[in-house]
Amino acid sequence: MDNPDHGFELWDMMARGQRGVEAPLRSYLAAEPTRAVTPDLQGLLLVRHQFGTTSPGHWKSYSAQPDRNPWPGSPSRPALVMVRCEVSGTRNWYELTLPLNVRIAGIVAEGRTFVLRVASETGNSETGNSEKGFNSITVTSDQTFRVIADCAFGPPSPSEVDIARGFDKLAGRIPLDVVGKAEPDAILGAALPLELNDPILGWFRFHPVHPANYSRIQEDGPTNTLLADPGGQFHAALARARVVLPTIETWVTAGARLVKAIRPEFGLTDNPRQRSAAFSSDGRVRILIDDGLHGTLSADLELGADDMLRLIEIDEETSALG
């Protein structure tokens, strides 16, 4: 199963709509009953096919953005997608995997809320009570975002039970697990700001994807990511990042030596550089390095909580990006 378009086209249609050119977006919405946008064009909710992989009883999602499956042979399943305009003016893409026994037959925008017409063969995932037929779920863009964020704190490959619980949260049948009560200027609660300003490392932005994280993405530099612990806390990951990042070049150099021991050509044309670092609450750090702008090798490293560095793998298929 494929999608009718590439997800990035939705950004363009929404941007054009906000500039007064609404015809392409209105035509796109009219083509399917499971697409709707708020009157101010700030929130778009729709159903798309989400590509991913399966293991017994579990689903690992990749993305619902591509128009065609970029992973030939891998399965797909429906997901609820929200394209949301933030206060900063940026547009972000969020996904909620749908249970296999749930079908959304239609979505209608009523003011700043969405009404989902849902056909479901089961009811509450915790009580086990089952129902058949259609029912309506009314949510706002903020409520949908909060549910997606809460589900991001679950396992990277959620079980069908986890996915069903996520939809029950959207329907208001069960409470959220990690996300706190929404407060003024704190949609996810006081403990989970959308942006984290660390006096040492700078700004990080919350990303409600598996696994939930705060990331600092630099256009011409590396991406640094703080990963939450199972309870939704980032303090330990941040503390580890404060120790490692100021001396990251030392670890890049040490990692390059490990790679050169196997691939002597690594770093001959350009100096090795960090492309990303992901900090876990248990002290482990995954570091991705490559051999420069024009290189063809990258390497995945792990720095342990004991500061022992080991080489995970060398990738010679992925070209380094500037």
- If one compares 321 and 244, the residue with the highest pLDDT of the two is 244
Whether the ω angle into residue 155 lies within 30 degrees of 0, i.e. cis, is no
Q: Torsion angle of alpha carbons 149, 46, 126, 143, nearest 10°?
A: 40
What number of CA atoms fall less than 13 Å from residue 218's CA on the CB side? 14
Amino acid in position 169: K
**pLDDT tens digits along 107-156:** 999 998 999 999 866 555 555 555 567 899 999 999 999 999 999 997 77
Q: What pLDDT band is residue 221 in, cutting at 50, 70 and 90?
A: confident
Mean local confidence (pLDDT), 249-265: 96
Kindly state the tokens that stand for 204. Answer: 């990080």
Task: Round the average pLDDT of the chain to a whole number and report it.
Answer: 90
The phi and psi torsions of 299 (rounded to 5 degrees) equal -140, 140
The answer to pTM > 0.85 is: yes
Q: Which residues contact 225 (CB under 8 A, 6 or more apart)?
A: 213, 214, 215, 216, 276, 277, 278, 279
Task: Write the CA distances from 36 to 44, 45, 119, integer angstroms.
Answer: 6, 6, 18
The pLDDT tens digits of the residues spanning 277-291 come to: 999 999 999 999 999
User: What pLDDT is attached to residue 121?
Assistant: 60
The yes-or-no verdict on residue 305 having pLDDT over 50 is yes
pLDDT at position 316: 84
Q: What is the pLDDT of residue 232?
A: 87
Provide the pLDDT for residue 91: 87
Laid out side by side, the sheet with 309-315 consists of 195-198, 202-207, 213-217, 223-227, 273-279, 285-290, 298-303, 309-315
